[in-house]
Structure 1
Amino acid sequence: LVGQPVHLKRDFFLANASRARSEQFINLREVSTRFRLPPGEYVVVPSTFEPNKEGDFVLRFFSEKKAGTQELDDQVQAILPDEQVLSEEEIDENFKALFRQLAGEDMEISVRELRTILNRIISKHKDLRTKGFSLESCRSMVNLMDRDGNGKLGLVEFNILWNRIRNYLSIFRKFDLDKSGSMSAYEMRMA
């Protein structure tokens, strides 16, 4: 297994007996165990009391000679579809009317306006467990989408952001497996 990025399947554990395991498998904040093992290659499998729950894991070992370690983990990556950027003329008239209503006379959405808009929308989604969008998260979104550098979102910029948020919400709902309104580390990894 050394140097091979692999996902260990059930067959591996059926074919290879456990060399050592924690005596206590209980729901405590901290479980500590000491082992004395002969020289060799070992796979350490951390676990939590409840399946698919996130937890911290610390491994400390002592050896007579220099020993090497390597983390075996799945590579996390996202394959995103190409984002369609529309010109003002291509944007739906209903969306334009909504934007005019939200943006006001200046026809641009500021950080504070964005926070108000998103928090009003998110409050209507009772399946989401959130305290809403902070001013800082809205500032980050505006900075990300603001192509002309004026600190506000125009029609096209807001349209792109709006489509991204709708896409992220769709992904969230698909992978919130327990329908808790929030994502565990396991669900986030699957998404």
Structure 2
Amino acid sequence: EEEEEEEDNDQQDDDDKLDDGDQMMTAEEKKKAQKQKQKAKHCTVLVELLQKNRRQKDKTNFLYVAFHVYKVSPEMQGTCLDRNFFMTNRPVGRSGTYKAQRGVWRKLRLDPGNYIIVGSTYRPNAPGEFFIRIFSKTSNTLGVQDFSCSSGYRPVMATPISPEDQTSIEKTFVNKAGPDDRLDVNGIMKLLNSVIEKDYHLPLETCRQIIFGEDTEGRSTLSREQVENLLTDLRTLQSIFNQFDEDSSGTMSPFELSLALEAVGLQCDNKVVQLLSERFVAGEQDLPFHGFVSCVTRLRKLFALFDSQTNQEVKDKGINAWLLQFLTL
């Protein structure tokens, strides 16, 4: 017991000495010491954003570019960082003003943690290729932000079907429907293309995909109610397509497609969006409207099939692997 008391007294003496040392330090010295401790915890990094393929023969055509660095909290890692994330979080670092030059860079001091670097152009949605170089004093793990695709798709019935569309449906069913009062793929294609503008006409293959995405009870035809819902959905997709076709080109870039799918309620990572764009461009440079309809139809079906899977091995691989496997078929 005496030895324990002596040890306690020694510890108390040490604490008293530390307290005396702190008291002997001036406020300025304390502040400097604290700053040194904080500085030791930081990591110094140099981030550079470089534009690719902007030099053409004797001229250059650099975009105005910059980058911003955001800290990602542990609970946000592996999730889709949406508009709300960037509206509620301030960047912890940035390159400065947008500049029309090959590269922009900035030296940053960051706390240990996870960060995302977002390169951007001054003009919204300007297409361009770039790569990022990072130099640091300590080793770091780098990668592309990834997340699991998700579906929150809901058929939108914002307004009831218009009288004009209702009349067209009634007339088509009277003239084209079979004895079971259902329309086949040819009847559906003629109906849809008779009520929507020429620029949005759907080819036969897209109409087949639409029917495949519905519950046809094995008959490959649609009922009157299904056709009414289909036409309303199509009007909604047309509105979303126009909203995100910002350059009014009549087609969508992969970036525009990603935003449009999110508006529909389908969140997909970059690999899936790129594969969709390549799969449904139909020989054009970018995605036309009927390709967008095919994307939504195929995704809805694949999400539904994945949800109905009972194979645990398939579930363990995840929805992203499932989509990448079957979107190529």
Counterpart AA for 2:206? S
Secondary structure at the counterpart of residue 157 of structure 1: helix
Seen in structure 2, the aligned counterparts of structure 1 residues 136 and 58 have a Cα distance that, compared at 3 Å, is farther
Contact 1:108 1:152 in 2 (8 A): yes
Equivalent residue for 1:47? 120
Equivalent residue for 2:197? 123
Equivalent residue for 1:8? 86
Equivalent residue for 1:25? 100
Query: Superposition pairs for residues 29-178 of structure 1, below 5 Å?
Result: 31=102, 33=103, 37=107, 40=110, 43-61=116-134, 65-69=139-143, 71=145, 78=152, 80=154, 97-106=170-179, 107-123=181-197, 129-130=199-200, 132-171=201-240, 175=243
Contact 1:147 1:157 in 2 (8 A): no
Counterpart AA for 1:141? I
State the shift of 1:110 in Å.
1.7
CA distance in 2, matches of 1:146, 1:82: 18
Contact 2:185 2:204 in 1 (8 A): yes
Question: 5+ residue gaps in structure 1?
Answer: 84-92
CA distance in 2, matches of 1:121, 1:179: 25
Q: How many residues are paired up?
A: 168
Secondary structure at the counterpart of residue 118 of structure 2: coil
Determine which of 249, 260, 264 is the counterpart of 1:188.
260
CA distance in 2, matches of 1:158, 1:165: 10
Counterpart AA for 2:119? P
Larger RCO, structures 1/2 (Cα 8 Å, 6+ apart): 1
Counterpart AA for 1:67? T
Question: 5+ residue gaps in structure 2?
Answer: 1-70, 158-165, 264-329
Greater Rg over alpha carbons, structure: 2
CA distance in 2, matches of 1:94, 1:187: 34
Counterpart AA for 2:86? L
Structure number with higher helix proportion: 2
CA distance in 2, matches of 1:119, 1:81: 21
CA distance in 2, matches of 1:121, 1:82: 19
Seen in structure 2, the aligned counterparts of structure 1 residues 101 and 54 have a Cα distance that, compared at 3 Å, is farther
**Percent of paired sites with the same residue:** 22
* TM-score normalized by the length of structure 2: 0.38
CA displacement 1:7-53 (0-9 Å, x = unmatched): 2349825xx553x4698526xxxx4x385856746552211252234
CA-based RMSD of the aligned residues comes to: 4.5
State the shift of 1:150 in Å.
0.9
Seen in structure 2, the aligned counterparts of structure 1 residues 35 and 137 have a Cα distance that, compared at 3 Å, is same
Seen in structure 2, the aligned counterparts of structure 1 residues 51 and 102 have a Cα distance that, compared at 3 Å, is farther
Counterpart AA for 1:188? A
State the shift of 1:139 in Å.
0.6
Seen in structure 2, the aligned counterparts of structure 1 residues 80 and 56 have a Cα distance that, compared at 3 Å, is farther
Secondary structure at the counterpart of residue 220 of structure 2: coil
Equivalent residue for 2:36? none
